[in-house]
Structure 1
Amino acid sequence: MLWRWRLLARESKEELQVLLQEAARRKSRRKIDSFYPETGPLRRELYPKHLAFMAAGKTFRERGFRAAHRVGKTEGTGGCELTYHLTGLYPSWWEGRRFKKAVKCWASGDTNQTTRDILQAKLMGEISDIGTGLIPGDSIVDWKRKATSVPNTIETVYVKHSSGGISVLGFKSYEQGVRAFFGTEQDVILLDEEPSMDIYTQCLIRTMTTDGLVLLTWTPLKGMSEVVLEFMPDGREPEPGVTGKFLIGATWEDAPHLSEKQKKSLWGSIPVRLRDAMTRGIPSLGSGAIYPIDEEELLVDDFEIPAHWPRAFSLDVGWNCTAVLWGAWDRESGVLYLYSEHKMGEEIPLIHVDAIKARGKWINGVADPGAMASSQKDGEKLFDEYVKLGLSLSLADNAVEAGIHCVWMLMVTGKLKVFRSLVRWKGEYGRYQRDEKGKVVKENDHLMDTMRYLV
């Protein structure tokens, strides 16, 4: 009898093993269910920014998730939301947009290879084990390969929607060019990492007639690009609703799945110039910040300038933008304080002169030597026009690199401080950088120029 009990025990173990394997297989094909549980060390209450981004879809068509490296922007945020829309199977805690019908979606990354290795792998699983990604295996009806030099890439996926219809997901890459984004209407477009402005614009057009969603999830390694400035007009995160878009940032502190040991290890491997972008989601300055010093080290709370301190202003003229910066010098400490600013476009000189005189008619100034060029008014030089309107002006030294060096020396020695109220100056400072060839990027830098003239 003993051998029979042993046989039954062995058969039971084998059956149990089969059941466990089947349970594991089914679980692997329902990966989406493991995200944002109600309890546990990775419970959803610990991810308020991820949830806020998804909830904002109920109100905003355009959303940006500006995130540090490894915080879950691709899989836990963009990928999860895309999966919910494709299947129509929304979790009980869902507060965002809901589609009651099958949807047409795109998921796009930088290149065909990165799209395959990141987006495709997260959503579909490995090519040899399709259905083990975020999209449930039993929801995938069919899929088609892409004709490309990059092997094992998927072009189109067909997904069962809870309404009974079939959702369609297309994988794209920015390297295909803007023409790949022409044509068809879409309900949801996920852009993993930032595209060029023309591709982003096409995505807005593709979702316009469907009242669809454009989701941008990115780590800002390219600095203040055109697309980033659409979400951060002054180089800063605006108040909700100001731009008509939703933007939220996430740092390593918003990622409880990252241990302190992991963060310490990652920190050491990240180049210094990219640490803000990769750990805090703060846009890096491309090839290099011209003044690589945290602006908080320069800012001071506003105070009343003592009457005996010498003051001056600097002027950068132009029809598209005229900028003025005022400074006051504390002789005792040797510190130059930038205390006021004026920046306005498409106005006649008289308007700018009135703004300058309002800060003190007696204050002397220096002007961009470019003001010696003729204006559209009978060939009269802009410099002479401003002088005739009552300004006390001389020409500034426009030696760019020498001027930048002088400003930098004041900064690092603590001799240059900026009033915290100078919001336009802060907007320019946050994106003042050099390009790949080491040249100053001449975009939205008028107050940076006036700072150089003033120094």
Structure 2
Amino acid sequence: MENLTREQKLELVQLLEEQKRRQHVYRYRDYYSTRYDWQKKFISHTANFSQVALIAANRVGKTDTATFIDAIHAIGDYPDDWAGHRFTHAPLIWCLGYSGEKCRDLLQTPLIGRKTDKGWEGGLIPGELITGTEIMQGTANAMRSVYVKHKSGGVSKIQFWSYSQGQHALMGDAVDWFHIDEEPKDPTIYPQVLTRTATGDAGNGGRGILTFTPENGRTELVIQFMDSPSSAQHCMNVGWDDAPHLSDRVKEELLASFPPHQRDMRTKGIPMLGHGRIYDASEDLITCDPFPIPDHWFVIDGMDFGWDHPQAHVQLAWDRDEDKFYLTRAYKAKQTSPAEAWFATKMWANGIPTAWPHDGLQTEKGSGLQQKSYYEEAGFDMLPDRATWEDGSNSVEAGLFELYDLMRSGRLKVFRGLRDWFEEYNFYHRDEKGRIVKIRDDLMDATRYAYMMRRFSIRYGDVGRPKENDYSNINIPCGVG
């Protein structure tokens, strides 16, 4: 800089300012690489499910995530490692919110910014790609439609709709992509949106996302995604622990402003479950920071088989001196082979006995092999017999009672960051007749199996040492403290 002339310095400043301007205008190109893991996971679900709901806490970035997805679809310029659904043509996109004002402020502004003398500026979609707009009647500065140049050569169309218009306004178009921001109280809105997607995406059927905090409680829509999702639906839950951008000070201030009965809903995205929660201990009560497991503690893994629903694996560490338990690992995945599951968990599952449920005894018609045999071949150290209590029984309620008692007494802790486990924990509930809802309970079951078979756990310091795979001589009383 010292050797530059005044003119050269001015030119350099102009170049740097132009570089900064371009980085801001085209920031959508770098957005994906800077997203949190849960945001990328949410995006990836749109490739496998046509309806993906993000039921989340306040201020975690759910709308920011969703409008980024909307923008990418409108532009068609997908990142190389984009794992979500892709449109090969210019799509028709519907963005829906409570009112015209909400659509303008929460959806339109993030997407296209504000109109200036130079055109549209400040949104995720560069102004140069916006070819036209149509105004929304009755709401100042709000747009009904926005037209965007798509990478395919076509023109995408984004339309903004408010719930206040009612379902009858949502007619006539074949929608490729929808984004429902906040849950509509009118139960006819969502079915009408789905109807419009029936022939979308070039006849393959449109798809979309819902992003909301469950302020209306366990509505039919929430129950549908939580308890009885179809094969086209997936639900994801995100709380404050998944939002590093929220400082402790901000969280404390926000928490103090929430009524006590709303705090789980607003900080964890948990709706009022009514007849629901099986474990109602606060997530904060059972969470602890990860730490190295001492060699003299005992460990055991638990698993739940699955294909169309996820298979699940956990690791339970047992401090026998204090009779305390720590859930240290958790993994689950759908349509994953035993070999793939082993590859994902080998680092922590190798050499540790694994408890499993009764369906591991089921045999495959072709080979005659039991299901558990495939996991043994993959590398898992499967216990010889299915998970039971010491007396040979396998009562589910007994396991729920004992685990709940451990939680309430501070003798069961879960390592921070095991988001899939906590998501199941927060939504694990009973229906109106008191029956356990068998949806999103895979890690909960795996945890119970590991606890039931803790008498077969081994010293952590012995993991990896040569041993005979014979558990018959291990008989640690379950009540040892």
Same topology, TM > 0.5: yes
| 1:83 counterpart = 2:74 | no
Describe how 1:53-452 pairs up with structure 2 within 5 A: 53-76=42-65, 78-128=66-116, 130-148=120-138, 150-195=139-184, 196-210=186-200, 211-233=205-227, 244-284=232-272, 296=280, 423-425=430-432
Q: Distance in 1 between matches of 2:113 and 2:20?
A: 15
User: Do the aligned partners of 2:276 and 2:429 also contact (CA within 8 Å) in 1?
Assistant: no
TM-score calculated relative to the size of structure 1: 0.57
- How far did 1:217 drift? 0.6
TM-score (norm 2): 0.54
Alignment deviations for residues 413-442 of structure 1 (CA, whole Å, 9 cap, x no partner): x9xxxxxx9833487999xxxxxxxxxxxx
CA separation in 1, counterparts of 2:263 and 2:217? 12
Query: Partner of 1:370 in structure 2?
Result: none
Equivalent position SS for 1:423: coil
Report deviation, 1:295: 5.4
Deviations 1:337-390 (A, max 9, x none): xxxxxxxxxxxxxxxxxxxxxxxxxxxxxxxxxxxxxxxxxxxxxxxxxxxxxx
CA distance in 1, matches of 2:429, 2:49: 30
Q: Whole-Å Cα distance in 2 between the matches of residues 279 and 221 of structure 1?
A: 12
Q: Distance in 1 between matches of 2:147 and 2:429?
A: 52
Counterpart in the other structure of 1:16: 12
TM superposition shift of 1:180? 1.5
Contact 2:49 2:231 in 1 (8 A): no
User: Which sections of structure 2, spanning at least 5 residues, go unmatched?
Assistant: 283-407, 409-427, 438-481
User: Contact 2:32/2:79 (CA < 8 Å) preserved in 1?
Assistant: no
Secondary structure at the aligned position of 2:221 is classed as helix
Give unpaired runs (5+ residues) of structure 1.
Answer: 38-42, 299-413, 415-420, 431-455
Q: Alpha-carbon deviation of 1:270? A: 2.2
Inter-CA distance 74–297: structure 2 relative to 1 (3 Å threshold): closer
1:28 counterpart residue number: 24
CA distance in 2, matches of 1:67, 1:255: 11
Give the ranges of 4+ consecutive aligned residues of structure 1 lying more than 3 Å apart after TM superposition.
5-8, 241-244, 291-295, 425-430
Shift of 1:159: 0.7
Q: Which of 33, 52, 62 does residue 41 from structure 2 map onto?
A: 52
Deviations 1:302-357 (A, max 9, x none): xxxxxxxxxxxxxxxxxxxxxxxxxxxxxxxxxxxxxxxxxxxxxxxxxxxxxxxx
Superposed displacement of residue 94, structure 1: 0.8
CA distance in 1, matches of 2:261, 2:64: 26
How far, CA to CA, are the matches of 1:180 and 1:93 in structure 2?
37
CA contact (8 A) 2:277 2:429 kept: no
Alpha-carbon separation, structure 2, partners of 1:281 and 1:71? 10
Q: Which has the larger radius of gyration?
A: 1
Change (3 A) 1:22 1:221: same
Q: What is the identity, as a one-letter code, of the residue corresponding to 1:75? A: D
Report SS of the residue matched to 1:84: helix
Question: Partner amino acid for 1:423?
Answer: R
Query: How far is 1:57 from its partner?
Result: 1.4
State the secondary structure of the residue aligned to 1:142.
Answer: strand
Maintained 8 Å contact 1:231/1:243: no
Counterpart for residue 368 of structure 1: none
Q: Name the amino acid aligned to 1:25.
A: R
Q: Superposition RMSD on alpha carbons, in Å?
A: 3.1
Instruction: Select between 110-119 and 18-27 the one with higher mean Cα deviation.
Output: 18-27
Q: Report the Cα offset of residue 284 of structure 1.
A: 4.0
| Matched AA of 2:82 | W
SS at match of 1:107: strand
